[in-house]
Structure 1
Amino acid sequence: MGDNLNFDNIIKKSVLNLEAFRNISYIDVFLGLLCAFIIGMFIFWVYKKAFRGVVYSYNYNVSFVLMTMITALVIMTISTNIVLSLGMVGALSIVRFRNAVKDPLDIVYMFWALAAGIASGAKLYPIALFGSLLIGVTLLWLSRRKIREQPFLLIIRHTEEAANEVREQLRKLPYRLKSKTVRREFTELTVELRLRDDNTAFLHSISDINGVQDASLINYSGDYAQ
């Protein structure tokens, strides 16, 4: 019986009546949110500079800033009281977020915002700032490497008389045949090219061939067109 009373007293003193929850440092709250805001704006800038998708969404990019600050606020709140942290875990476990992420790289930015918010809320400012700087530099460097050599789809629609000349032009390019559609009036070729520095002068040479009805060059990434 005495052991139960001692255990109850320990719980009440160390958990339910935690003094750290009452003595809130507004300076720490301000510094944590300021650090989260700075990192969130850095994520915003990196995402805008490194974006190579179809349509840039300003609202989606702004959500990274708010996500970083909200995560920091949540971490600062639950770090002051164990009971509150358990309640927060239970509350968040019933929340379901349904958002279609088209680019897998967007998930990286989400985890980056969450990790930076956690580090900022836990007062680990050097880890949050220095880690975010390295991640941002890495993402920018990788995005620049992607620009150097981009994949394209070349779609050529030509008649049977122009087949040999089209084939001769394609031999000058590093291409790979993706599909070929043969119809009575024309033949449609779809080939994959990898070009550097947007050098598309060859497209005019193909278009000038007698019998070529049209030639289209489409930049793409993965399984969808850009």
Structure 2
Amino acid sequence: MGEKITFMDVFKNSFTENFSQLSISTIVLSLGITFVLGLFIFFIYKKTYNGVLYTKSFNVSLLLISLVTCVVILAISSNVVLSLGMVGALSIVRFRTAVKDSMDLVYMFWAISVGIVSGAGLFLLGIIGSAIIAVILIAMNKFDYNDNAYLLVLNYDNSADENKLLESIQSEAKKCKIKSKSFHKDQGELTLELRLIKENASFVNKITKEIGVSNAMLVSYNGDYTS
């Protein structure tokens, strides 16, 4: 009668035997390709960034996220038992940093995906996928929608004719929508969302000459507004 194999024997074998599957060449190749693809993401992010303030530290973190993810996937793929422990350890990690731009979230997922596919040895998928994503991002960045939104903030007093002001503004805009209005002690503030017919802000000077208008400010608007 053959030797009886217990669960502990299977556990020990799965924990000790599979570590030899990862060679130095495999590790160097995976991390090397991940590093190259991470640099590619770094330059694409810098080229296509349209925000107000470019943050180099966030861009560098995209490269590091790719490398760290690759290391994790290499460790998980080398041993089943280790992968279970690592999943449990990573499940307690909580990230509370707010992502202000939705495109930053796209780049984070891209960096994580590069680390996953490179760690799994799917190098061709990582290279082709990154190339296609980069082409789409650059093409969309170059495409001019010519439909920029603006916020117009007006300060005025009792002597101002609101109807006349709105008619003057609407003649310059494809779309005009009131976002907020307040009036306190003979001083009012009106905030409008505008879609201009032409990218020409000279009409703001005309509005400031209207009777009762003390101040007019036009700012670019990305939709993040609360009143």
TM-score bucket of the superposed structures, by smaller chain: 0.7 to 0.9
Q: Give the corresponding residue for 1:71.
A: 69
Q: How does 1:191-206 map to 2 (within 5 A)?
A: 191-195=192-196, 198-206=199-207
State how far apart, in whole Å, the 1-side matches of 2:216 and 2:126 are: 49
Q: Give the corresponding residue for 2:43.
A: 45
Amino acid at match of 1:178: K
- How far off is 1:81 after superposition? 1.7
State how far apart, in whole Å, the 1-side matches of 2:109 and 2:94 are: 17
**Aligned length in residues:** 223
Relative to structure 1, the CA distance from residue 176 to residue 35 in structure 2 (aligned partners, 3 Å threshold; closer, same or farther) is same
Amino acid at match of 1:208: K
State how far apart, in whole Å, the 1-side matches of 2:145 and 2:32 are: 34
State how far apart, in whole Å, the 2-side matches of 1:58 and 1:66 are: 13
Secondary structure, counterpart of 1:200 in structure 2 = coil
State how far apart, in whole Å, the 2-side matches of 1:175 and 1:158 are: 18
Relative to structure 1, the CA distance from residue 80 to residue 95 in structure 2 (aligned partners, 3 Å threshold; closer, same or farther) is same
Relative to structure 1, the CA distance from residue 73 to residue 196 in structure 2 (aligned partners, 3 Å threshold; closer, same or farther) is farther
Q: Give the corresponding residue for 2:124.
A: 126
- How far off is 1:36 after superposition? 1.2
Relative to structure 1, the CA distance from residue 39 to residue 198 in structure 2 (aligned partners, 3 Å threshold; closer, same or farther) is farther
Query: Which has the larger helix fraction?
Result: 1
State how far apart, in whole Å, the 1-side matches of 2:136 and 2:146 are: 16
Determine if the alignment matches structure 1 residue 209 to structure 2 residue 207: no
Give TM-score scaled by structure 2 length.
0.82
Q: Give the corresponding residue for 1:167.
A: 166
- How far off is 1:144 after superposition? 4.4
Q: 1:91 aligns with which of 83, 89, 92?
A: 89
Q: 1:35 aligns with which of 33, 36, 41?
A: 33
Amino acid at match of 1:110: M
- How far off is 1:24 after superposition? 3.6
8 A Cα contact 1:175 1:193, kept in partner: yes
Secondary structure, counterpart of 2:180 in structure 1 = strand
- How far off is 1:66 after superposition? 0.1
Amino acid at match of 1:106: D
Relative to structure 1, the CA distance from residue 158 to residue 11 in structure 2 (aligned partners, 3 Å threshold; closer, same or farther) is closer
Q: How does 1:106-185 map to 2 (within 5 A)?
A: 106-145=104-143, 148-163=146-161, 164-172=163-171, 173=173, 174-185=175-186
Gaps of 5+ in 1: none
Q: Give the corresponding residue for 2:191.
A: 190
Q: Give the corresponding residue for 2:5.
A: 5
> Over aligned residue pairs, what C-alpha RMSD do you find?
2.8
Per-residue CA deviations over 1:123-144 (Å, capped at 9, x if unaligned) read 1111111112222333334444
8 A Cα contact 1:150 1:196, kept in partner: no
Per-residue CA deviations over 1:63-106 (Å, capped at 9, x if unaligned) read 11000011111112221222222221122122222222223332
| Identity between Structure 1 and Structure 2 (%) | 42
- How far off is 1:11 after superposition? 5.1
Give TM-score scaled by structure 1 length.
0.83
8 A Cα contact 1:165 1:209, kept in partner: no
8 A Cα contact 2:21 2:78, kept in partner: no
Amino acid at match of 2:170: R
Q: How does 1:46-61 map to 2 (within 5 A)?
A: 46-61=44-59
